[in-house]
């Protein structure tokens, strides 16, 4: 097996602003595995809040290059590398390679049906008027995700709800709220029909949520990296955001999905930004997710090819040449 690692830079159409950072471009690693004339590809970004970069991801993969090129299974990979960007790139490339070698789509190998899915569209953090105006402007997106910090939350939520009375709305605080602010906003969020609140408190500060009966379902993002974290956060969250860049690929994502189904947790599938090549394997998890957040390519000035086709919020299935 031959391994190739290539950096690609994707520019954002405008700054992607959250409570924790401002992103104008990203550098991803495209992992290609070639064997017997077949090539499997994947794109990985990792979790920047854990210090992952294209450089660290490539370095982690280079350490295990020999094991990879002598022939590595996905099960062996789970033991060889920890969750994160390096394992994600290799895992999803191995899935793609198996599909190419077998002549079957990945979802057929898994015995799953696949349908187009609707993604949320993310509104970057801004002031009240700017966020409300953007909500009005994207009326072809029926499900919105609001990036919010702890400033003017009630005003922003109310203004966006007024601008889009029929939209499904969720919030991502990226760990920027305090327990006191969380408590104070409960009734506001409920009255504005917010469907999900993602990562309200900082990573590692989940204890105030344990056993909390909040009026809006709470979703773990940074607080749940991989399947190894599920039992620890089980009593604090109603939903889990599955991101392949966090958990280390489709293999572990499927484990998280199965656990959530067995434990009555809602599933969200998300992205760390990235092109259609990064979104494609996550669409498998999206088939059984209550919340789909795979709008990364819509934030880029260009995309990998062949790109996933978006008709408003509706994502078509990835072509065989792209992935899987």
- Alpha helix (H) ranges present in the chain? 54-63, 65-69, 74-80, 85-102, 106-109, 128-137, 153-163, 179-191, 230-233, 244-247, 250-262, 276-286
Give residue 167's pLDDT.
98
Q: Do domains 2-103 and 117-315 have the same CATH topology?
A: no
**Cβ contacts of residue 86 below 8 Å, gap of 6+?**
44, 46, 57, 60, 61, 248
pTM, to two decimals = 0.96
Cis before 306? omega within 30: yes
| pLDDT the model gives residue 3 | 98
All residues at 6 or more sequence positions from 131 whose CB lies less than 8 Å from its CB, including other chains: 123, 125, 146, 156, 159, 160
- Identify the pLDDT of residue 202: 97
DSSP string of 137-206?
Answer: HTTT--EEEEE--SSSHHHHHHHHHHH-TT-EEEEE-TT---HHHHHHHHHHHHHTTEEEEE--SPTT--
The contacts of residue 214 (CB under 8 Å, 6+ apart) are: 182, 186, 197
pLDDT at position 74: 95
- Count Cβ neighbours within 10 Å for each residue of 99-137 and write b for 16 or more, e otherwise: bbeeeebbbeeeeeebeebbbbbbbbbbebeebbebbee
Q: What pLDDT, on the 0 to 100 scale, is given for residue 239?
A: 98
Q: What is the pLDDT of residues 168-190, one digit of tens each?
A: 999 999 999 999 999 999 999 99
Alpha-carbon distance values, 232 to 31, 134, 172, 243 (Å): 32, 37, 21, 18
Under DSSP, the state recorded for 300 is: B
Q: What are the tens digits of pLDDT across the range 17-69?
A: 999 999 999 999 999 999 999 999 999 999 999 999 999 999 999 999 999 99
Q: Domain segments of the chain: what residues?
A: 2-103, 117-315
- The answer to whether 219 and 237 have CB atoms below 8 angstroms apart is yes
| Residue 319: per-residue pLDDT | 97
CA distance 6 to 101: 22
Give the tens place of pLDDT for each residue, 228-248: 999 999 999 999 999 999 999
Q: What is the pLDDT of residue 309?
A: 98
pLDDT at 292: 98
Question: In Å, how far from its chain's centre is CA 284?
Answer: 12
Q: Is 68 left (phi over 0), alpha (psi -120 to 50) or beta?
A: alpha
The predicted model gives 98-114 an average pLDDT of: 97
Measured in whole angstroms, how far is the alpha carbon of residue 127 from the centre of its chain? 25
Segment 66-87 mean pLDDT: 96
User: Torsion angle of alpha carbons 236, 242, 244, 248, nearest 10°?
Assistant: 40
Q: Burial level of 19, CB count in 10 A (0-12/13-18/19+)?
A: middle
pLDDT digits (tens, 9 = 90+) for 107-146: 999 999 999 999 999 999 999 999 999 999 999 999 999 9
User: What pLDDT does 38 receive?
Assistant: 97
Active site residues: 147, 243
CA dihedral 195, 50, 21, 216 (to 10 degrees): 10
CATH number of 117-315: 3.20.20.120, 2.30.30.280, 3.40.50.300, 3.40.50.720? 3.20.20.120
How far from 311 is each of 1, 75, 239, CA to CA, in Å?
Answer: 38, 36, 27
State the pLDDT at residue 268: 98
CATH topology of domain 2-103: Enolase-like; domain 1 (3.30.390)
Using one digit for the tens of pLDDT, what is the confidence trace for 256-312?
Answer: 999 999 999 999 999 999 999 999 999 999 999 999 999 999 999 999 999 999 999
Q: What is the mean pLDDT of residues 217-235?
A: 98
Q: What is the pLDDT of residue 306?
A: 97
């Amino acid at each position: 097996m031959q391994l190739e690692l290539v950096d690609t830079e994707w520019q954002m159409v405008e700054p992607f602003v959250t409570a924790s950072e401002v992103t104008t471009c990203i550098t991803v690693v495209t992992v290609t595995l070639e064997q017997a004339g077949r090539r499997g590809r994947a794109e990985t970004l990792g979790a920047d809040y854990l210090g992952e970069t294209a450089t660290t991801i490539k370095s982690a993969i280079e350490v295990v290059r020999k094991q990879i090129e002598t022939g590595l299974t996905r099960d062996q990979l789970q033991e060889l590398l920890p969750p994160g960007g390096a394992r994600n790139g290799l895992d999803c490339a191995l899935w793609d390679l198996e599909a190419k070698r077998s002549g079957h789509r990945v979802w057929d190998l898994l015995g799953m049906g696949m349908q187009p899915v609707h993604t949320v569209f993310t509104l970057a953090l801004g002031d009240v008027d700017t966020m409300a105006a953007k909500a009005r402007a994207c009326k072809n997106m029926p499900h919105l995700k609001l990036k919010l910090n702890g400033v003017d939350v009630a005003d922003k939520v109310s203004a966006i709800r007024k601008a889009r009375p029929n939209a499904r709305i969720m919030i991502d605080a990226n760990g920027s709220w305090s327990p006191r602010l969380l408590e104070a906003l409960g009734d506001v969020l409920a009255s504005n029909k917010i469907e999900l609140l993602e990562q309200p408190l900082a990573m590692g500060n989940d204890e105030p949520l344990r056993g909390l009966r909040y009026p809006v379902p709470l979703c773990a993002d940074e607080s749940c990296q991989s399947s190894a974290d599920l039992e620890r956060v089980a009593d604090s969250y109603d939903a889990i955001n599955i991101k392949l860049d966090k958990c280390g690929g489709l293999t572990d994502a499927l484990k998280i999905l199965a656990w959530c189904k067995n434990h009555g947790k809602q599933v969200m599938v998300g992205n760390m930004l990235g092109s259609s090549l990064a979104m494609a394997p996550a669409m498998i998890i999206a088939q059984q997710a209550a919340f789909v957040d795979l709008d990364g390519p819509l934030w880029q000035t260009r995309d990998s090819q062949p790109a996933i086709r978006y008709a408003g919020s509706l994502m078509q299935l990835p072509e065989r040449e792209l992935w899987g």
